[in-house]
Structure 1
Amino acid sequence: MPNINLEAVLLEALDDERKAEATYGAVIEKFGEVRPFINIIEAERRHSAAIERQMTRLGFAIPANQWQGKGMAPATLAEACRMAIEAEVENIALYDRLLPAIADASVRHVLQNLQDASRDNHLPAFRRCLERENGGGGSGGARDGQGSQGRHGRGRGPRGGCST
């Protein structure tokens, strides 16, 4: 297994989670309390916290959030859903790249849970969002039949590291 810099891996993952949080926050600021953004932003916060706990455990400094207040929302909610789909696909690919080289079992477990949440929960929710917005009919409000609170695997509870 290649020698990796675990701190750099965690910093890259943390940066990606914080970027998503800032972006989804900008969408909420522009379009209001719309699902799935209102649920998934909370998941992104929990993901960042899970990574930060691993960094603390390993004695790594936690950097300031460079994304705070810097998220950008597109012109329409459909575009926001499309952008979120792309972001989640990129997040899954990030973890595909990072996970194979991680020997630390705890870090590996946390990052695997975060990837699972993106793939199994966030991505489908944003795809439903795009379908709803493109299907004519929706304001994009709180109609995402499966509010992220219960379904949202980056919220699978005690599976470790992150309850989202």
Structure 2
Amino acid sequence: MKRLVKLLTTAALVLTLFGTTGLVMAQETSYGSAGALSDECLTLEEMLTYAIQDEYAAEAEYAKIIEVYGAVKPYSNIVKAETQHISALVPLFEANAISVPVNDAASHVVLPASLKESYAIGVEAEIKNIDMYNRFLEQQLPDNVRTVFESLKAASEKHLVAFQRKANR
């Protein structure tokens, strides 16, 4: 219960302070988690595409934050995880004869005004990522896809905790 209250408090803080700006792909409602959460009828190809787009976006934003602010935690750890998440998704595209989308996320990165602001944005991004995977896991999925989505959701839950810790300091 305490965890839920803390999560909701952090989410409210993020929305109050930053509205919907600052996320890498916030303006693009058909990209990544934003697309997944607004899409009424999801196909396997769409779920895989939204998932990899969201991982591309996180990797690109975290890499840019490291470039500007240095190899600070949790970014120095999480950016490596995002690369692994992408690597976990690519074989699912291949196994289902779906083309892997081009990674153009770096061209969409919006750098937060400060490192502190980036943590709050990280909280919001991880919440949306978890919501996306929860929505996918409600669908009929091949076992290998379900396993990867469950793993990526669990990783995002850990990332969320790391960002909440930093945002609440």
Distance (whole Å) between structure 2 residues aligned to residue 125 and residue 71 of structure 1:
21
**Counterpart residue identity of residue 89, structure 1:** I
1:128 aligns with 2:156: no
Structure 2 regions of 5+ residues with no counterpart? 1-40
Matches within 5 A, 1:8-157: 8-119=46-157, 121-132=158-169
How many positions carry a matched residue from both structures? 129
Q: Percent identity?
A: 36
Question: CA-to-partner distance for each residue in 1:42-96, whole Å, 9 max, x for gaps?
Answer: 1011101111111111111112102034322211111000000000000001111
Distance (whole Å) between structure 2 residues aligned to residue 111 and residue 118 of structure 1:
10
RMSD (CA atoms): 1.4
TM-score under structure 2 length normalisation? 0.72
TM-score under structure 1 length normalisation? 0.74
Bigger fraction of residues in helix: 2
Distance (whole Å) between structure 2 residues aligned to residue 63 and residue 114 of structure 1:
18
Question: CA-to-partner distance for each residue in 1:1-33, whole Å, 9 max, x for gaps?
Answer: xx8521111001111111111111121111111
Contact 1:4 1:102 in 2 (8 A): no
Secondary structure at the aligned position of 2:136 is classed as helix
Contact 2:61 2:106 in 1 (8 A): no
**Structure 1 runs, 4 residues or longer, greater than 2 Å off:** none
Cα distance, 1:103 vs. partner? Answer: 2.3
